[in-house]
Structure 1
Amino acid sequence: MLTRKQLELLEFIKSRIDADGVPPSFDEMKDALELQSKSGIHRLITALEERGFIRRLAHRARALEIVKLPEAMEKGFTPKVIAGDRADQPRGAMPVEAVHALELPVMGRIAAGVPIEAISHISHHVAVPGAMLSGRGQHYALEVKGDSMIEAGINDGDIVVIREQITADNGDIVVALVEDHEATLKRFRRKGSMIALEAANPAYETRVFPDHMVKVQGKLVGLIRTY
């Protein structure tokens, strides 16, 4: 199953090939999907290629070829519905007829404790409710390692859903890349030219860096927990 952005990109590539006979450029794809950089397009192209939907051709400009289309594009789009047995509803509960789910790549582990190496690969995929994907932009998921955000309700082993962005407001919980080599999940605070990365556990100290040493990689928008 494709993520929403992967499907959007495949649809855009197909529409341009049908109209012009050639695929769009990376800049055109970036603008069409409203991404902030071409690196996001590279990740989407790689994911589509790994799943066998497109092929990159050597020694040709705009060298993309559509190999196959997902069933949703061939027969018209129908939202993915996860069905299952329903228990009796608690008193006052609102009825839920269906849950629309999308797959997100899980980009390895993120430290909620001592920072670990920067995230650089997809370990697997996870289905998340579409309503969790707030706002525009690309989303991804991370497995939490550590307990530094436990008082914010984020436990070791949870899956956090992140919207990819490079800015944050004070108080946001973000994925922060420190000195281009370690990634951590912390609460963001800007104080002049300094950035504080705050834990939500008194056992961990707040870390403060010059702003050029910290790059925001995304903002927390959801959480998945397995009991």
Structure 2
Amino acid sequence: MNNLNIWQQLVEQTKLRWPEVLEATSIHIQLVFFSMILAVLIAVTLGIVITRVPKLKTGVLGAAGIMQTIPSLAVLGFMIPIFGIGVKTAIAALFLYSLLPIMRNTYTGIKDVDPATIEAAKGMGMTSMQILFKVELPLAIPIIMAGIRTAAVINVGNATLAAFIGAGGLGDFIFLGITRGIDGLILLGAIPAAILAIALETFFSAVERWTTPKGLR
């Protein structure tokens, strides 16, 4: 089939299914949003903990790394007995896939802070918590945000697999297009997903610039 026919299919399918595309995009965004909120809260916390308790580093990062090696469909399968079929399972799986880049970057960002800066903060009488929130985290923000951006973009792609467990999203069109042999349907799911990934990358880049101390921009 030539490219012209593929684009004609895309145009036709878009006209027929535009309300469904909007609904699927909304569901896709929700899957990514809620999984990322959980991942940021947990992964940043764990990243901070392993900077304070170094002996936990190997085990925590190792466990998160193992999750990254398991195929996405397999993770979804493992989650079904726990959460059942649907949105909860998809969010849980996406959450697990988001942990490693955020956690690793949080750890790296904090450990890369100049020891002299930390010593100067201690000399000013700052407590450990004050040093963490007023010195280490602000200086580590660019690296942490890079991890969050990476996790968000990965999640947009992985969220398309949620269609296989009835969680909806843009993967529905991709799955339907594959089963029916309609390339236009595949593009109807793939193109909005790609646009969403680019939009998230742009958004988090802007957040990174806004949260990074002026001297580090």
TM tier relative to shorter chain: under 0.3
Q: Compare the two structures and name the one with the higher strand fraction.
A: 1
Higher relative contact order (CA 8 A, sep 6+): 2
Q: Compare the two structures and name the one with the higher helix fraction.
A: 2
